[in-house]
Amino acid sequence: MPYAVVLELLGDKPLLYPAKYAHGLFFALLSRLDPQLAARLHGAPRKPFTLAPIGGRDGVLLLRFTPLDDALFAPLLRTLLEAAPEGLLLGDSPFRLRRVLATPEAHPLAGATSWEALRLAPPRNRLHLRFLSPTVFITSKPGGRTRFTPLPEPRLILGSLLDKWQAHSPYPFNPKEEAALRELFELDAELAGFHELRFHRVQAGKAFFPGFTGEVRVKLWSESLDAQEALGRLHAFSFFSGVGAKTTYGMGLAKPI
Amino acid sequence: MPYAVVLELLGDKPLLYPAKYAHGLFFALLSRLDPQLAARLHGAPRKPFTLAPIGGRDGVLLLRFTPLDDALFAPLLRTLLEAAPEGLLLGDSPFRLRRVLATPEAHPLAGATSWEALRLAPPRNRLHLRFLSPTVFITSKPGGRTRFTPLPEPRLILGSLLDKWQAHSPYPFNPKEEAALRELFELDAELAGFHELRFHRVQAGKAFFPGFTGEVRVKLWSESLDAQEALGRLHAFSFFSGVGAKTTYGMGLAKPI
């Protein structure tokens, strides 16, 4: 069951690198829970959660956490709650956990759904996302080169969501369906508009990355019901999965509209 | 010799579709000059000039014209000057030609250079362009599908400039050089930033097209001098050639910075 919870933390001073420290905190909690799992996840290219500082002021830090692996959520939250009374270390500053906001009423970026509900999301022929934190796609090129694409290219947005769905959902598309979708996303998806598109350069982990924020609409021309059902699922899933790279460092936070 | 001239036209009323009417005027002038050439160019996918309304008010219309074929410029300008006294028809409104602005001092979007000077433009490892009118790339996909990309993708910007250079310059790259450049543009060019990127939907000819405007920086990682020389040429050439599709309908007007 995909969740999005917002942790309301209280500290004495504002943080210089909230995304980096939050990443550190979560790996510390994971180590406490299961040292082997933490070590394995740390080096894994795809992590079963997203994590993003989403603001706050006057000593309050809001940290959004979406576990994508059902087995991870309850134990990790329990570990968090157990660790909270001693103070949660963000960098070297202890923070207190004031509230866990878990519903859209408590915070518009919180909420939960079931994988079954995502699978049955209504079909759509448009993706309409608001990218709330800098979003980037990292692609490997021949010769071991890595290139960043900080632009809302439809095939990259849809391809990333499909990657994440395949990796985390208990209802992945079978290889034939997946290949057909990838081809459609390449050929039949078009940018229908964008609004307030901004370029950023942000630190995520050890390096700096370019990224975009803003509102983006993508049109899928295909009239295939299978394709539109897939788009409906990915659209709803994006709220939990985020889009693109470095989603455990606050990047790629997207809200379907 | 690539030129960019700005025609200052005076009319009685503002025009609803200046780009469309300007296109019509230029083809009328071309027909007067050489009916066969006009007929051939009308159907040609690549036209040896760009044409863009660039504003004006209080009865003044500014029309920017850049001939990319040396043989076209002088005769077409002569035909224009000959036709001017009768009134130049934009749609069904006659306009008078008040001035031809031909230097950067007269108008920042006017100027001239030589192909030789473009060929010898200083090498660069960055492209820095301001897209002043909506810009779009049209790509053909398998199955006869056509897709629009209204985003400043580095490989599309550079690929379009290279296409135009190859089509119009008396110093085209040879096939081996051209292939090497296309590969570099695909692998080694990265978006370094954008500013004030806006989405538009505009009419160009019979149809509506999406497009972007704004300032864009592209970084070429290659340290090859050949590549950087090519980038220098294309950067300087963009002022005359424009970028992307429908540059005879006012789209793709770019100014190197």
Closest CA to A99 of A179, A178, A10, A175: A10
Residue B92: band (very low, low, confident or very high) from pLDDT cuts 50, 70, 90: confident
SS3 A153: coil
For residue A157, what are its two tokens?
A: 């947005």
Task: Identify each DSSP E strand in chain A by its residue range.
Answer: 3-10, 49-53, 60-67, 88-90, 93-101, 111-112, 126-135, 137-141, 145-149, 189-204, 207-220, 254-256
pLDDT at B219: 96
Rounded CA-CA distance A239/A5 in Å is 11
SS (H, E, C) B172-236: CCCHHHHHHHHHHHHHCEEEEEEEEEEEEEEEECCEEEEEEEEEEEEEECCCCHHHHHHHHHHHH
Neighbours of A209 (CB within 10 A): 21
Contact state of A148 with B191 under an 8 Å Cβ cutoff: yes
Could you tell me if B224 lies within 8 Å of chain A, comparing CB atoms? no
Q: Which residues of chain A have pLDDT under 50?
A: none
**Phi, then psi, of B37 in degrees rounded to 5:** -60, -45
Smallest Cβ distance to A187: which of B142, B187, B194? B142
How far is B155 from B181, CA to CA, in rounded Å? 10
B85, pLDDT greater than 90: no
| Residue that has been written with the tokens 């789209």 in this structure | B251
Mutate to test the interface with A, among B197, B212, B217 (most CBs of A within 10 A): B197
**What residues in B contact A192, CB-CB < 8 Å?**
210
Using 50, 70 and 90 to split pLDDT, how confident is the model at B38? Answer: confident
User: Could you report the per-residue pLDDT of B137-167, keeping only the tens digit for each?
Assistant: 998 877 777 889 999 999 999 999 999 999 9
Q: What pLDDT is attached to residue A15?
A: 83
Amino acid found at A106: A
What does the pLDDT look like over B166-225, one tens digit per residue? 999 999 999 999 999 999 999 999 999 999 999 999 998 889 999 999 999 999 999 999
Q: How far is A248 from chain B (nearest CA, A)?
A: 23
Chain A residues whose CB is inside 8 A of the B197 CB are: 194, 197-199
Q: Alpha helices of chain B — where are they, by DSSP H?
A: 18-33, 35-43, 70-83, 115-119, 154-168, 175-187, 225-241
Q: Which pTM was predicted?
A: 0.91
Choose among A143, A191, A201: nearest Cβ to B150.
Answer: A191
Query: Is A11:A93 a contact under the CB 8 Å cutoff?
Result: yes
Chain B residues 157-176 with a CB less than 8 Å from chain A: none
Nearest CA in chain B to A141: B187
Chain B hits for A152, Cβ within 8 Å: 151
pLDDT of B99: 92
CA–CA min distance A163, chain B (Å): 22
d(CA B203, CA A96): 57
Q: What is the structure's pLDDT at A57?
A: 81
Q: How close is the nearest chain A Cα to the Cα of B5, in Å?
A: 33
Q: Are the beta carbons of A156 and A208 closer than 8 angstroms?
A: no
| Candidates A148, A153, A191; nearest CB to B190 | A148
Residue contact A210–B187, C-beta within 8 A: no
Residue for token pair 């074929």: B69
* Average pLDDT over every residue of B236-256: 97
**C-alpha distances in angstroms, A38 versus A28, A46, A70?**
8, 13, 16
Q: Compute the distance between CA of residue B86 and CA of residue B95 in angstroms, rounded to an integer.
A: 9
What is the rounded (10 degree) CA torsion for B199, B204, B209, B215? Answer: -30
Residue position matching structure tokens 């100027």: B111
Q: Kindly state whether B141 is in contact with chain A, defined as any CB-CB distance less than 8 angstroms.
A: yes
Could you read off the pLDDT of A34-85 as tens digits, one per residue?
A: 888 888 888 888 888 999 999 878 889 999 999 998 888 888 888 888 888 8
Q: Could you tell me if A143 lies within 8 Å of chain B, comparing CB atoms? A: yes
Residues in chain A: 257
* Listed residue (B76, B149, B110) closest to B8, CA to CA: B110
